[in-house]
Amino acid sequence: MKMKLKNPNEIEVSLVFPAYNERENLENTVRSAMKALEKIAKSYEIVIAEDGSTDGTDKIASDLSREYSCITHIHSDKRLGRGLALKNAFSKTKGKILVYMDVDLATNIEHLRELVESVRKQYEFATGSRMHPKSKVTRSRSRQIASKSYNFMARSFLGSKVADHQCGFKASKRDALLTILEDVKADHWFWDTEMLVRASRKGYRIKEIPVKWTQKGRTRMRLIKDSFEMGSQILKLWWETRKQLD
C-alpha cells in the first residue's frame, strides 16, 4: 500500500477512532480505513483515541502507530468517556477535514467518500443518518424505538433540525469544529448530540447522508440507563440555553 505520510503542512483528512476495549476490531478497522482514505484523501492521518482500555487495545494501537507513520496513538490511563476522548484527540489533529467513526464499523465504510466530499465541497458538518429514507438499517426493535424517541426529544427540546444525532460517523471542517469544541461539555455519549446542536446554533450547515448501518454485537450503550442519562442531558442543555436567553 502506498502510504501518505503525516506532514503537518499537508494533511487534508484527520480520522479519529475513539477506542475503548476494541481489541477484536481495531486492527482490521484501521487497515480498512487506510485503504479507503488512500482513494479519497490527498493526505491523511489516523488518530486512535484509546480511552483507558483494559483488554490489550492499547498494545494494538501502539503497535500500529509504530508500524505506520500516518497513525498516532493517544493513550489515557483512565477512562475519560467517549466525548472527552474525542475532544482531546481533535485538539491534537492537523487535518483540514476532521472525521470520526466508531471502531465496530456499524456504519459501512463505503460511505466515507460521501461524508468527506460533503464537507470538502459545501457543508461545515456531515453525519450519517439512520433516519434517512434511503438508509438501510439493521437493529433490534427496542433500539429502533429508543433511537426514534431520543431524536424526537432532541428536536423538540433543542430546536434541532437533525434527524439522527447519535450516528457515530461524522465529519467537519476543522475551523468549524474548533470554534465550538470548548463549548461542548458532554463527556460521553451525549457529546455527538451537543456538538451538532451547537454547530446548528452557530449557523453551520449540516448534511445528513443515507447509510448502511448494522448493529454490531453487544452494544456498549445500556439501553435503559443510558437513555435516561442522555434524556436528562437534553433537558440540561435546554435549561442552559433557556437561561442564556433570559
Q: Which grid coordinates are listed for 111?
A: 460511505
71: left (phi over 0), alpha (psi -120 to 50) or beta: beta
- Cα–Cα distance, 112 to 214 (Å, whole number): 16
Cα separation, 168 vs 103, in Å, equals 9
Residue that the C-alpha cell 467517549 belongs to: 82
Which segments of the chain does DSSP mark as H helices, in order? 26-40, 57-67, 82-90, 112-121, 141-158, 174-181, 191-201, 223-245
- Catalytic hit among 102, 104, 192, 226: 192
User: What grid cell was written down for 185?
Assistant: 461539555
Q: Which residues, 6+ apart, have CB-to-CB distance to 229 below 8 Å? A: 189, 190
The full DSSP string for 166-202 is --SEEEEEHHHHHHHHTT----STTHHHHHHHHHHHT
Of 40, 86, 237, nearest to 155 by C-alpha is: 237
CB neighbours of residue 87 within 10 Å: 21
Q: Respond yes or no: is residue 77 known to be catalytic.
A: no
Please answer whether residues 77 and 52 qualify as being in contact, where contact means their C-beta atoms are separated by less than 8 angstroms. Answer: yes
Q: Identify residue 154 by its one-letter amino acid code.
A: A
Query: Any idea which residues carry the catalytic annotation?
Result: 192
